Amino acid sequence: MDVTTCLKSLLLSIQQYSDTRTPTNAAGIQKQVEVVSGLRCEQLLSSGQVLPSECVSGLVELAGNPNTCPALTSSIISLLGQLACDDDSRKMLNSSYSLTSTLAYVIHCHRATPCEPLVLQCLQVLQKLTYNTRVFLTSNYIRELVSFLMTNIQSRSEDIIMPCLSLMANLCRDNQSVQSHIKSLDTDELMLFYRTLLSFLSHNSLTVVVFTLSILASLTLNEKVGEKVFDAKNIHQTFQLVFNIIVNGDGTLTRKYSVDLLVDLLKNPKIADFLTRYKHFSACVSQVLGLLQSKDPDSAAKVLELLLAMCSISGLRSRLCEEVFSRPAGPRCRAVNSIQAAGLDVAHKAESGLVLVQWLSSPVEGAESCSLQALQLLKELLEEALRENSPYDCVLSFVEVLLPVLLRLLKSLDPAKGDAELRKHCHRITRVTALLLIMCAEDSTRCMVSGQVSAQFCVSLVESLLSCCHSSSPLTCLPPGSDSNLSQVCAEALLKVLEVMSKLRNEVKDMETSFYRMLEEQMVVSALSLALTSHRRDHVQTGLSLLFDSTALPDFPSLLLGERIAANNAYRRREAELPFKCVAVQKVPPPRTNTSTMDSSSGSSRSVCSLAEKMHSGLEFQEQGKDSQLSEIIDVYEQKLSAFACKESRLQDLLEAKALALSQADRLIGQYRLQQAQAEAETRKLSCLLKEAERQREELQSKLNNQLQEVEHFQADMENMMQRIARLQQDFDEHQTLKRTYNALLSRFNESERGLKELQATHVSLTKQHDTLTKKHEELQQQHKQTAAVLDKREEEIRSLSSDIQQKNSDIAALRADLSAEEEKVKEQDQKNLDLEETLEVLRKELSKTEQARKSASIKVSSLEQQKNQLETKLKQKEEELNKLSTMIGMIHSLSSGKLKNDVNLSL
């Protein structure tokens, strides 16, 4: 029996049971539900047909009716849980059929018996429906459901704890409305709930522990309770527990929630910092990477999700690169060495990157999302690894292995497989080309890419994408948040391929010519205009880059580009002018009417009229003609009559379909009215929030006024500081003047020193002459007359020298006075500098140059003091030598005047 026949029978049974609730009708509908459950038609809701939608609406209505038999309700809920097999189906069941509210109502009706199998079944289906789905608190019976969950969690009943905890974890995760509702409860009730959750942390079941940690992370991560649960002492044990559950978990469900818990914890910067310093991180990541070797796409998807979350943290990205690419030991690879010492061989680590490569082209069913996640992960890791100036050899060898796989992914484009496959493949092309662009950013990997990519390959890929864009709907600009159609996905992939060609145009033969030739295509202009008017930053940057390359082309259709951009902008403006629809109502497709069928029906009616005319003429002819002709006319009449009966049956089927669509429209109108009431309640709630926001705005306005007053005070203080800076600048100018004066004095001192050196030379010559006089004393007596004349001359020279010496002494005294005055000025300047240091503490950063100048001046003054001391020492020595010289001159003068006595000591 085919699916359509089963669904028609099921719909008929639903209508019969709705009209007459008898045990016979209940058994009939239960039998039909079991038949449909055995067909394994998981993709039934995504077909968009009217008949399945009508059946699901009827089943949901029966399940939410308290008068329905519990056994039938259980069978219906089992079938609906079977239909919620993928994200699209779960979203449709939540939004279009309100299945979550219906199941919450069933639980509310049986809240007195929480351990009843029907309640447990509803909890299990709700857990499946609400996973990674945000449920609005304003929906029907969601508040009652939260209250039921909290009550039964605190009851500590082992039969119901696990489904209640899992459902509570789903409702609280990334759902601010549910979190606020729970936190707004009575303080005692909330603290009792927290204490119950904390007691579950020591439960024997690891699944219960993970559910509890997920709830605590959602409710208390940024509060005092969360700080105590996830503090520095406990967080390492939490990491070890979560990693052990991920690696050694007893099922996909527990591993899934463990990954979600760790991803939520990593959103907290403090906990992310704790994980970067976790000493067993490398070993845990190595074991997590080992899970990718399994053939389970669900487990691999969650592992890849966890690795992508770790890549968002800068401190963990480099360590992930070490694990995936097996970098050699270095300053950042100590953790890797410790893992090797613990018994993990390098071959296992080297397989981590190869496992990622295998998931790129895995033949396992349902591995499409894993392939895209693996591409995104490799993009993040290679971006980190190639950021260094000289990549490791292991990274280059990995790129060499990865490149052929990526190129094979680009080659497998087949437009004959349908739009769904083309959409998946275009997404894959976008990710692959993004990865190739990362490789082209570094010289060594760009050479490897250019060695395996040819211009003909890129041209063929661009042409196939252009054909996909041309065969699908025209390129239009959609508003942010809308699902892109196939042509837009192809356009995004097309621009990425063109960007790769732009990066390789100077590396690959004929690539530049092919690149410019592709830019002149008019369909490329459509994709380029879509990128330039996109709301995404990366698309705009890509479009601007390609536009910059194409503006120099003589045949580039710039006029067409302007028209496309204007059309996209007009589309955006028209979309912005339309009223925003808060509640999405399912659009029921109208009954399809085949024009050819209608034409044939009208033709058949015309043929029936002609047949009647022929009949009438045939009867008249019967009286005049032969019986054989009458029999032929009767045969024709019978044939036309049978055809008319067939057409009548078809019209009856069409009428039934229209009646079915009308009933569904009535039901959708009822749903719309219910959703309108919910929207009105949400509007009232938003008005309350708006009033609260206005009150907060007034408070913030008063705070802003206070801040403005403080800013004015700060400006006045800044003006005072500027005045102080001006005074310091004046002091600095005076210091520069004193510095120039000191340099002049120093030059004069150098001249005096040269004079002293000349005097020393004169002193040496005089000592030599004295030695000569002592040896030739007897000759001097004989040559007294001659010596007397010489002594007269010498006396005149000595007088001139003594006058020069006196002049030098006076100069030295003046220098000493100047030095003492300079010392007093320096001391005064030092005292001023000491007073100014306290004021300059706040302005030290702005006046660093002035401070450095002051320090250099103080250093020079200290050096001058040392030089002054040295000069005083030298002056004392020179004075002593001058005294000795004057004594010798006096003795020589006495000898030359003839006043020498007989007992003169010749030793002089």
Q: What is the DSSP string of 106-174?
A: HHHHTTT-TTSHHHHHHHHHHHHHHTT----TTSTTHHHHHHHHHHHHHHT-HHHHHHHHHHHHHHHTT
The pLDDT value given to residue 414: 64
pTM above 0.75, yes or no: no
CB 136 within 8 A of CB 177: yes
d(CA 818, CA 742) in angstroms, rounded, equals 10
d(CA 111, CA 272) in angstroms, rounded, equals 41
Lowest-confidence segment of 413-422, 438-447, 467-476, 843-852 by average pLDDT: 467-476
Domains of the chain, residue spans: 452-573, 587-591+599-674
pLDDT of residue 602 exceeding 60? no
The pLDDT value given to residue 170: 92
Lowest-confidence segment of 397-406, 732-741, 776-785, 896-905 by average pLDDT: 896-905
Mean pLDDT of 359-372: 73
The highest-confidence range among 24-38, 107-121, 552-566, 628-642, by mean pLDDT, is: 107-121
The pLDDT value given to residue 632: 60
pLDDT of residue 675 exceeding 60? yes
- Give 510-516 contacts, CB < 8 A, sequence gap 24+: 510/455, 510/456, 511/455, 511/458, 513/455, 514/455, 514/456, 514/458, 514/459, 515/458, 515/549, 516/549, 516/550, 516/553
DSSP state of 897: T
pLDDT per residue as tens digits for the range 184-232: 888 888 889 989 998 888 888 888 999 999 999 999 888 888 888 888 8
Burial bucket for residue 209 (CB in 10 Å: 0-12, 13-18, 19+): buried
- Band (pLDDT 50/70/90 cuts) for residue 1 is low
pLDDT of residue 846 exceeding 80? no
Structure-model confidence comparison of residues 576 and 581, the more confident one: 576
Mean pLDDT of 829-858: 75
pLDDT of residue 901 exceeding 50? no
Torsion region of 365: left, alpha or beta (phi above 0 gives left; psi -120 to 50 gives alpha): beta
Helix/strand/coil for 210: helix
Mean pLDDT of 851-871: 82
The pLDDT value given to residue 607: 44
Q: Is the dihedral of CA 606, 659, 669, 137 positive or negative?
A: negative
Structure-model confidence comparison of residues 107 and 351, the more confident one: 107
pLDDT of residue 234 exceeding 70? yes
- Band (pLDDT 50/70/90 cuts) for residue 656 is confident
pLDDT of residue 348 exceeding 60? no
d(CA 128, CA 257) in angstroms, rounded, equals 12
**H or E element, residue 680:** helix 627-775
The pLDDT value given to residue 171: 92
End-to-end Cα separation, the chain, in angstroms: 149
The pLDDT value given to residue 415: 63
Q: Burial code of 681-720, b = ≥16 C-beta within 10 A, e = fewer?
A: ebeeeeeeeeeeeeeeeeeeeeeeeeeeeeeeeeeeeeee
The pLDDT value given to residue 391: 66
Structure-model confidence comparison of residues 125 and 853, the more confident one: 125
pLDDT per residue as tens digits for the range 246-273: 888 767 788 889 999 999 999 888 888 8
pLDDT of residue 852 exceeding 70? yes
pLDDT per residue as tens digits for the range 116-169: 889 999 999 999 989 888 888 888 889 999 999 999 998 878 888 999 999 999
**Tokens representing 487?**
């042509």
Structure-model confidence comparison of residues 344 and 404, the more confident one: 404
Report the Cα 81 to chain-centroid distance in Å: 35
pLDDT of residue 600 exceeding 50? no
The pLDDT value given to residue 122: 92
- Band (pLDDT 50/70/90 cuts) for residue 683 is confident
The pLDDT value given to residue 751: 87
- Identify residue 720 by its one-letter amino acid code: N
- Band (pLDDT 50/70/90 cuts) for residue 608 is very low
- Identify residue 352 by its one-letter amino acid code: S
Please choose, from the candidates 343, 311, 316, 339, the residue with its C-alpha nearest in 3D space to the C-alpha of residue 326.
339
**Tokens representing 117?**
């199998």
Mean pLDDT (the chain, rounded): 78
> Which regions of 281-346 does DSSP assign to beta strands (E)?
none
Q: How many CB atoms lie within 10 A of CB 397?
A: 14
The highest-confidence range among 35-39, 52-56, 97-101, by mean pLDDT, is: 97-101
pLDDT per residue as tens digits for the range 444-487: 888 998 888 888 888 888 888 887 765 554 444 444 333 346 77
The pLDDT value given to residue 351: 65
